[in-house]
Amino acid sequence: MREQLIFNLSREGRKGYSLAPNDIRELTPEETLPAEFLRKEPADLPEIPESEVVRHFIRLSNLNYHVDKNMYPLGSCTMKYNPKVNDAACDLAGFSELHPLQPEKTVQGALQMMYELSGMLAEIAGMAAVSLQPAAGAHGELAGILLIRKYHEARGSKRTKLLVVDSAHGTNPASAAIAGYSIVSVKSASDGRTDLADLREKLDDDVAAIMLTNPNTIGLFEKEILEIERMVHENGSLLYMDGANMNALLGITRPGDMGFDVVHYNLHKSFSAPHGGGGPGSGPVGVSEKLIPYLPVPIVEKIVGPEGTVYRLNSECSGSIGRMMNFYGNFAVLIRAYTYIRMLGSEGLRRVSENAIINANYLLGRLDERYELPYPKPVMHEFCLSGDRQKKQHGVRTLDIAKRILDYGFHAPTIYFPLIVSEALMIEPTETETRESLDMFADALLSIADEAETSPELVLSAPVSTPVKRLDEAQASRQLNICCPG
């Protein structure tokens, strides 16, 4: 049953509130607003009793998939459970009632939180300094690449190329292109990691940097990262790390110790702020010592003087790449990340990554006999299977498998990425899933593998239990219709 629009539930004369009379004269709109801002006609608002308003939105929430309902196995997304204490911290009046234009002396607690979060993120990744300003992962990528460009320009260099491994997230070449670089693709070797011979061939004097994800999108750690670091730095180039897969590294190893010059963090992934549906996100960027002068402004500074400690925003950095957005990032996401890190501490963060790695390998161990595994295990926090066997033997594509799993009550995994894997199924269970939830998900995929063999027509017609059945993806992308019929 499809939920109707709230306007279709409206009946004239129904009310959702009742206010006691008062003796204060009510001002008319004409007395409070300029004439040009007044409506010419009354607003066409639905007239609904409170009970029906609540039921309408509860029914809508039940139609929606969310992390409180079940797991998100989206590879490279790190859709972990979001502790409710994070939201409680955001709701504190000292945070939720701030205005970005308040004088600095009235927001010392907020500035202190940002200063301490920057320091904690720098320590976690082994970087010299961190800017919290970028608003999302790709925004952090762009900031990092602009820092790289500024570094070379300050040295009188005109390097125009940026290397990107072929298994990279699509935002890597997109961000580099926006920053004005030509993109050169570096091949993956037969083991799924960076092909050092191909890298060596393409690493010339015009290369500004290489963008790596470590572990990469197949869930494999770059075992030759120190050799890559030596090659890149001897060429006068810089090393950039896409931090989307940081959930595998917390407390175990640090990008700075591997020699990375720039890394962006996804606070909405690794540090548990809710995300999806376009936001909210936060993509702080960390840098090595030599890139500090170019960080985005403003920078949160701590000043210790005879009258005590004061925090301030410094926008007067002559070498800076400038502002990346208005004010100072997505503040509520910063609070959630700060709360998460302080709650877990250093030992807790390490357990996060250890459990993420254990969960991924446990789930892979249950699935790798029924689905093709294009690259050898073990993996880190995520893994990539292939639906090639089901496609070749039974005509069931990865897309069909993803549609069918919706009928089992799960969100579909990431599909058809990375591009180097045919019929890719990319799965990341995260550390917050129990063995029981992993087994339920594995059982669903194993059942679908059985169905592909015995009744492929069932998988090809999926989903059958969702409010909206299978769409024509090509038409839906060109003819968007988000209205449900009444």
Residues 43 and 103 in one domain: no
Euclidean distance between CA atoms 481 and 47, whole angstroms:
25
Euclidean distance between CA atoms 398 and 410, whole angstroms:
15
pLDDT category of residue 485 using cuts at 50, 70 and 90: very low
Cis status of the peptide bond prior to 103, with omega within 30 of 0: no
- Mean pLDDT, the chain, rounded, equals 94
Euclidean distance between CA atoms 147 and 236, whole angstroms:
15
Is the residue at 321 inside a domain? yes
Residues 328 and 233 in one domain: yes
Q: Do β-strands 424-427 and 414-415 pair in parallel, antiparallel, or remain unpaired?
A: antiparallel
Residue 277 has pLDDT above 70, yes or no: no
Q: Is-contact 375 422, C-beta < 8 A?
A: no
pLDDT in tens, 79-107: 999 899 999 999 999 999 999 999 999 99
Euclidean distance between CA atoms 368 and 364, whole angstroms:
6
Cis status of the peptide bond prior to 134, with omega within 30 of 0: no
In this structure, of 120-134, 333-347, 459-473, the range with the lowest mean pLDDT score is 459-473
Residues 309 and 368 in one domain: no
pLDDT in tens, 390-427: 999 999 999 999 999 999 999 999 999 999 999 999 99
Phi/psi at 320 (5° precision): -60, 150
In terms of pLDDT, which residue wins out, 31 or 117?
Answer: 117
Residues 312 and 370 in one domain: no
**282: its two tokens:** 């936060």
Q: How many domains does the chain have?
A: 3
Closest by CA position to 253, among listed 144, 353, 179, 143: 353
Q: Is-contact 110 95, C-beta < 8 A?
A: yes
Q: 3-class DSSP state for residue 79?
A: coil
Q: What is the pTM of this model?
A: 0.91
Is the residue at 75 inside a domain? no
Residues 388 and 340 in one domain: no
Query: What confidence score (pLDDT) does residue 486 get?
Result: 42
Residues 288 and 158 in one domain: yes
Query: What confidence score (pLDDT) does residue 454 get?
Result: 97
Residues 148 and 188 in one domain: yes
Query: What confidence score (pLDDT) does residue 467 get?
Result: 85
pLDDT in tens, 19-44: 888 888 888 888 999 999 999 898 89
Domain that includes residue 440, residue range: 353-478
In this structure, of 239-243, 271-275, 388-392, 406-410, the range with the lowest mean pLDDT score is 271-275
Q: Is-contact 397 391, C-beta < 8 A?
A: yes
Query: Residue length, the chain?
Result: 486
CATH code assigned at 186: 3.40.640.10
Residue 224 has pLDDT above 90, yes or no: yes
Locate the DSSP E strands across 187-257: 207-213, 238-243
Query: What confidence score (pLDDT) does residue 258 get?
Result: 98
In this structure, of 139-143, 148-152, 326-330, 384-388, the range with the lowest mean pLDDT score is 326-330
Element (H, E) at 184: strand 182-186
Residue 444 has pLDDT above 90, yes or no: yes
Give percent of the chain above pLDDT 70: 98
